[in-house]
Structure 1
Amino acid sequence: MKKLIMLAPIAILAACSEKAAVENAVRGFLIDPDSAKFGEITIVETSDGRKACVTTNAKNRMGGYTGDKQISLFYDEEAGVWKAVTSWDWSHEMCLQAISGEAEEADEEPSLLRH
């Protein structure tokens, strides 16, 4: 029981560290990284590796907030970093379905993010 209690803080710290790494990866693809406001962040383990969906609201080139967007990421095991893949105007639930391979055809195609 003592070992379990001692491991709980380690697991919490690891989760916080991974969440921070995901947020940093998202910031790297934004026009104004300092303006990022993060909402729901979900990290899942799939047969293809770890993937994440992140709800974020950030400023565009005109200085206005874009509204919540979903950004999907995958963990590059070789490089040891999270990499952003696409940005959607979908709900967080739809993003999770897409990264887990359960997505139905959507009204809008995802757009690739650029550096």
Structure 2
Amino acid sequence: MRRLFMIAMAVAITGCTGQGEAESGVKLLLNDPGSATFTEVQPGAAKGNFCGLVNAKNRMGGYVGNTPFFYEKSSTTSAIVQPPRTEDFQMYWLSIRSKSSSVEELMQLHQKCDLVARWKSVCGGEYPGSRHALCEALSGPGDKFYLAMKKEFGD
């Protein structure tokens, strides 16, 4: 009986450690890690993965609201998943039109779209927010993205 209790405790501690590791990784991405509150934290699609919501203070000291996050154990990737907004694509379009666009801007859009796309494989369910339609065009050939942006924002 005592041995069974010890095994149960070891399993419980291991589970807590995994979630703690996930939360620690996410805190490294925050401006004010001490203000972080985690809710709806669930095991992900693979052992050691965790997904949930985090709320923390921004640089101005205000809470930003619950934002989806995931932790992928196999790659030790922690990510706060914020899909690009229409304004992000519009700013990039304006920089293309003024011939001042940068690879870094495009990579940031790619990264935000990719994190939303990875949600299902890491967490096992659909992303709890919405995916921007231009993310689909961004993952295709370059001319498809350009034409989609032109259609969305005009000349």
TM class by shorter chain equals 0.5 to 0.7
- The structure where helix makes up a greater share of residues is 2
Q: Offset at 1:15? A: 1.1
Per the alignment, residue 54 of structure 2 pairs with 56
Q: Could you tell me whether the CA contact under 8 Å between 1:44 and 1:52 is conserved in 2?
A: yes
Closer, same or farther: CA 38–101 of 1 in aligned 2, 3 Å: closer
CA shift digits 1:75-113 (9 cap, x unpaired): 136xxxx32134148xxxxx9746346538x63349xxx
Q: How does 1:3-18 map to 2 (within 5 A)?
A: 3-18=3-18
Closer, same or farther: CA 96–4 of 1 in aligned 2, 3 Å: farther
Distance in 1, matches of 2:119 and 2:42, equals: 8
- The structure where strand makes up a greater share of residues is 1
Per the alignment, residue 37 of structure 1 pairs with 37
Distance in 2, matches of 1:43 and 1:62, equals: 32
Q: Could you tell me whether the CA contact under 8 Å between 1:55 and 1:71 is conserved in 2?
A: yes
Which consecutive unaligned segments of at least 5 residues does structure 1 have?
90-94, 111-115
Candidates 66, 74, 78, aligned match of 1:76:
74
Pairwise CA RMSD of aligned residues?
3.0
TM-score when scaled to structure 1?
A: 0.66
What percent of counterpart residues are identical? 27
Distance in 2, matches of 1:17 and 1:8, equals: 14
* Higher relative contact order (Cα pairs below 8 Å, separated by 6+ residues): 1
Distance in 2, matches of 1:96 and 1:4, equals: 36
Larger radius of gyration between Structure 1 and Structure 2? 2
